[in-house]
Amino acid sequence: MKVAVGDVVLPGDQCEEIAIAGEKSKVLLGPGLRKEVDGIFVTKAGRLKKRAPNTYWVDNYQKRYIPARGENVIGTVIQKAGDVFRVDVGSHCSASLCYLSFEGATKKNKPKVNIGDVVYAKMLVASKDMEPEIVCVDSHGKQGRLGVLEDGFVFKCSLNLIRKILNPECPLLNSLKNEWPFELAAGMNGRIWIKAKTTRETIALGNAILACEYLASDEIKSMCTNIASTLAGHVS
C-alpha cells in the first residue's frame, strides 16, 4: 500500500514518495523511518510528517525513549564509576557521561557533578548495539546551555508533547513568557526542567505545559491568560 505525507502508517509500510524524493535531492529520515536496500520503511505506528525541504518522520504517541544521535536530553546522574557517570535518560539502559565531556574539564580540573544531579546533555552515540553516550558540550567544545541544571523542577511527559511545545507554530512558550519570566529546558526523551521565581509559578507552568497536549492554539492562549490572572489574584 502506498503511503503519503499525512497518512496514518504502520510498521512495515514502504514509503515510495520519500524514496523518489531521495533520488532527486538529499533526504533526512527522522524517528520511525529506516532506510533498507530495497527502500524506506516505517518502524513505528503513527502519522507520517514532513518538514521542508526534505525531512520526514513518523509522529506517534510514546513515553519510552529510544536514543537518537544529536538529540538534547535531560537525565539524572545515578552512579559514578571511575571517570564515567551513569545517567538515567529514560531509555532501555543508562547512558555514559565522561567527566571530560564538560567545557574546560581536565584531569586536574574535574567538573562538580554528584549523584542525583540533573544534567542537560546531547546524545553523542545512539546505537542498538552500543550503550548510549552523552556529552555536555557542542561540536565546538562549548557548554552553551548544556551542563548541570541547578534547582528547578523536573517532570516527565510524552515524547509527543515535547515535539509539540518545541514546534515554532505552538504558541505555548511565547504566551507563557509574556506573562512571567522563567527558565526551561526540554529533553527529547520526554523530560522537562523548569525554574521560575516562586514554587507556585513553577507548579503553574508545569501544569500548563502538561495540559496543552490536547489543546488547540486558541485554547492554549486562553489557558495561559487564565493562569496568569489566577496567579495575579493570589499575589494581590
CB 94 within 8 A of CB 87: yes
Last residue of a domain, one of 149, 168, 201: 149
**0.85 cut: is pTM over it?**
no
User: What pLDDT digit, counting tens, does each position of 101-146 carry?
Assistant: 888 777 778 888 888 999 999 998 877 778 899 998 887 777 788 8
Residue 205 has a CB neighbour count (10 Å cut-off) of: 23
Q: In whole angstroms, what is the distance from residue 235 CA to residue 179 CA?
A: 14
Indicate the number of domains in the chain: 3
> Do 159 and 227 share a structural domain?
yes
* DSSP letter string, 10-49: -TT-B-HHHHHHHHHS--EE-TTEEEETTEEEE-SSEEEE
> Do 12 and 25 share a structural domain?
yes
> Do 160 and 202 share a structural domain?
yes
> Do 99 and 81 share a structural domain?
yes
Helix (H, G, I), strand (E, B) or coil at 196: strand
> Do 195 and 211 share a structural domain?
yes
CB 41 within 8 A of CB 13: yes
Question: Is residue 2 one of the residues assigned to a domain?
Answer: no
Question: Is residue 81 one of the residues assigned to a domain?
Answer: yes
Last residue of a domain, one of 149, 165, 182: 149
| C-alpha distance from residue 217 to each of 81, 149, 171, 224 (Å) | 46, 30, 6, 11
Backbone angles phi, psi at 146, to 5 degrees: -80, 165
The residues, ordered by sequence, that sit 6+ positions from 190 with a Cβ below 8 Å of its Cβ are: 63, 65, 90, 156, 157, 158, 159, 161, 162
Q: What is the pLDDT at residue 212?
A: 86
> Do 163 and 219 share a structural domain?
yes
> Do 166 and 142 share a structural domain?
no
Q: What is the pLDDT at residue 180?
A: 78
Question: Is residue 121 one of the residues assigned to a domain?
Answer: yes
> Do 89 and 39 share a structural domain?
no
> Do 219 and 189 share a structural domain?
yes
Q: What is the pLDDT at residue 236?
A: 46
Cell of 55: 525531512
Q: What is the pLDDT at residue 1?
A: 62
Q: What is the pLDDT at residue 175?
A: 80
HSE-up (13 A, CA, CB side) for residue 108: 0
Last residue of a domain, one of 97, 132, 149: 149
The residues, ordered by sequence, that sit 6+ positions from 153 with a Cβ below 8 Å of its Cβ are: 193, 194, 195, 202, 203, 206
Q: In whole angstroms, what is the distance from residue 147 CA to residue 138 CA?
A: 11
Question: Is residue 27 one of the residues assigned to a domain?
Answer: yes
Nearest to 95 by CA among 210, 187, 192: 187
Question: Is residue 1 one of the residues assigned to a domain?
Answer: no
Q: What is the pLDDT at residue 50?
A: 83
CATH number of the domain enclosing 86: 2.40.50.140
Domain of 131 in residue numbering reads as 72-149
Residues of the chain with pLDDT under 50: 236
CATH number of the domain enclosing 200: 3.30.1370.10
Q: What is the pLDDT at residue 191?
A: 92
Q: In whole angstroms, what is the distance from residue 122 CA to residue 2 CA?
A: 36
Q: What is the pLDDT at residue 231?
A: 62
Question: Is residue 222 one of the residues assigned to a domain?
Answer: yes
User: What pLDDT digit, counting tens, does each position of 182-204 carry?
Assistant: 889 999 988 999 998 888 888 88
Question: Is residue 64 one of the residues assigned to a domain?
Answer: no
CATH number of the domain enclosing 19: 2.40.50.100
> Do 121 and 136 share a structural domain?
yes
Residue 227 has a CB neighbour count (10 Å cut-off) of: 20
Question: Is residue 3 one of the residues assigned to a domain?
Answer: no
- Region for residue 55 given its phi and psi (left: phi exceeds 0; alpha: psi -120 to 50; beta: otherwise): beta
